Chains A and B, each alone.
Chain A
Amino acid sequence: MIKLTSVHKEYPRSGVALRDVSFQLRKGEFVFLTGHSGAGKSTILRLLQMAERPTAGEVRVLSFSSATIRQRDIPQLRRRLGVVFQDFRLLHDRTAEENVAFALEVTGARRSAIAPKVGKLLAQVGLAPKARAYPDELSGGERQRVAIARALANDPFVLLADEPTGNLDAWAARGVFDLFREINAMGMTVIMATHDLDLVRAHPEFRTLEMSQGAVVFDSAAEAAVEAERV
């Protein structure tokens, strides 16, 4: 479903960002992508959105391949991905519900279908009472929930989260993380880039991909496979 094969990414100015990265994700997995800042976590998320192409190797997402995807097909891919950022990226001149509706409007959803869907999404992230609030009137955790509702608007198959709890206090971070777990429990794949090692260690049941200097240096799934073989 998501497969990186010998992916190498080099930028003309800043040099090598990824070296020989290969891994595969199955449907419904919850994966922590961890490592220092600059280790290549965000680069992987950008490659998955096809915002960038690998210098060598192949990124495959559903039926889309970085080697063959045409520019005009990228929007189709993006509709299948939900993306959440550390800085929320909400439109400040729109209310919570308008922010969520925006994702539906711009992908050409039927107008009559938008309002009920937005209501459902905001209820799902626990923000129904604040539907009419503007982002500036919401707390960090609430803003991230709006962003998550927006990311879910087009029924993606995977949720990509780039340090989603990075700007939040511990309580809000826990709430957002719990929301990701709920979403994952409903069958959606979640890839969460984070450098919160405590969080990662607290959840050994989820797969961890650790990156360092552009390479995957630890994959808990591979480790478990080796362990299973030894037993």
Chain B
Amino acid sequence: MPYAVREALTAFRRSPLLAVLSVVAVGFSLFVVGLFGLTAHNIRRAIERIEERVEIVAYLRDDLAPEQLKLAQEEMALLPEVLEVRHVSKTEALATAMREMEEFRDVFTDLEVNPLPASLELRLRPGSREPKAVERVAAQLRAYPFVEDVRFGRDWLDKIVFLRRIAGGAATIIGGAFAAVAAIIIATAIRIAVFARREEISIMRLVGATDGFVRRPFLLEGFVTGLLGGVLAAGLTYGAFRLVEAALIRIDWLPFAWVVAGVAAGTGFGFLSSAVAVRRHLRAL
């Protein structure tokens, strides 16, 4: 076993409390970041789900020829923004109205002519649901002579955009603050662990150990502390997720890439903090 690995293990054996405390400190500080990530992710998902319902409805004239309809349908489907085009016939529209507006059922039943127009309902691709893209598609629809009217919830759309912007800004600021606090706690925990062994470092240098040799076990320790802390944080966050899901509301678990990125960030930062902390001691005798 290489010296650095043996020495890192020895350090753990000699002061397990300090090692465990460092891991716990790293774990809990990243756990806060994880909880925030979980919240941010679910807020984002909620907004996305609302956005998925962004729809453009083009009401069609009654005298529209089927070939024209087919052509229009095909043309619209080719637009890059459009995910799906659905034709709603007059009959379907009436059926839907009767189903969704029960109090008017009698009125609809008594009618001799179906007053509801046929329509094309367009769903847009993710990323094309912001006002400009919607506006663009709506304008194209309006250009068809057989389109009587085009509707989409403009106010509603603006509100979603506004909400998303606020959520994004808040996530950046609060997330950044949490990450900074986590970074400070990790750096401090590791610095304490290195400081506890300053005597060892000074003796190593005294007897002629090279800087690289002195550094290696500490870097390894920082790496492992960060890694274990990151895994602990991921576990705690998952526990919190299950708890919320069981007791409160159904939420989504974090994307796997986020979890990996979080653990990797903890590991990398642990490594880096060690490097910085040891460097301080290497500069002294």
Seen from chain A, the residues whose Cβ lies within 8 Å of a Cβ on chain B are: 46, 49, 51, 72, 75-81, 83, 89, 91, 93, 102-103, 105-108, 150-151, 153-154
| B207:A93 contact, CB within 8 angstroms | no
CB distance from A23 to the nearest CB of B (A): 23
Q: How many residues of chain B get a CB closer than 8 Å to chain A's CBs?
A: 19
From the candidates A51, A77, A89, A91, name the one contacting B208 in the complex (CB within 8 A). Answer: A77
| A89:B210 contact, CB within 8 angstroms | no
> CA A103 – CA B213 in complex, angstroms?
12
Contact sample, A vs B, 19 pairs, CB 8 Å cutoff: A72-B211, A75-B205, A75-B208, A81-B208, A83-B207, A89-B199, A89-B202, A89-B206, A91-B203, A93-B15, A102-B203, A102-B204, A103-B203, A105-B7, A106-B204, A107-B209, A150-B207, A153-B207, A154-B208
> CA A161 – CA B35 in complex, angstroms?
56
Contacts of B207 in A (CB 8 A): 78-79, 83, 102-103, 106-107, 150-151, 153-154
> CA A182 – CA B207 in complex, angstroms?
22
> CA A51 – CA B210 in complex, angstroms?
14
CB distance from B40 to the nearest CB of A (A): 44
Interchain pairs with CB closer than 8 A, number: 57
Residue B14 CB within 8 A of the other chain: yes
| A91:B199 contact, CB within 8 angstroms | yes
Seen from chain B, the residues whose Cβ lies within 8 Å of a Cβ on chain A are: 3, 7, 14-15, 199-200, 202-211, 213-214, 285
CB distance from A9 to the nearest CB of B (A): 15
> CA A50 – CA B67 in complex, angstroms?
93
CB distance from B285 to the nearest CB of A (A): 4
| B208:A105 contact, CB within 8 angstroms | no
| B208:A79 contact, CB within 8 angstroms | yes
CB distance from B195 to the nearest CB of A (A): 15
Q: Report the 4 A-B pairs with minimum CB-CB distance, sorted nearest first.
A: A78-B208, A79-B208, A106-B209, A103-B207
Contacts of A81 in B (CB 8 A): 208
CB distance from B215 to the nearest CB of A (A): 12
CB distance from B246 to the nearest CB of A (A): 45
- Which residue among A75, A76, A153 has the maximum number of chain B CB atoms within 10 Å of its CB? A75
> CA A153 – CA B204 in complex, angstroms?
13
> CA A151 – CA B208 in complex, angstroms?
11
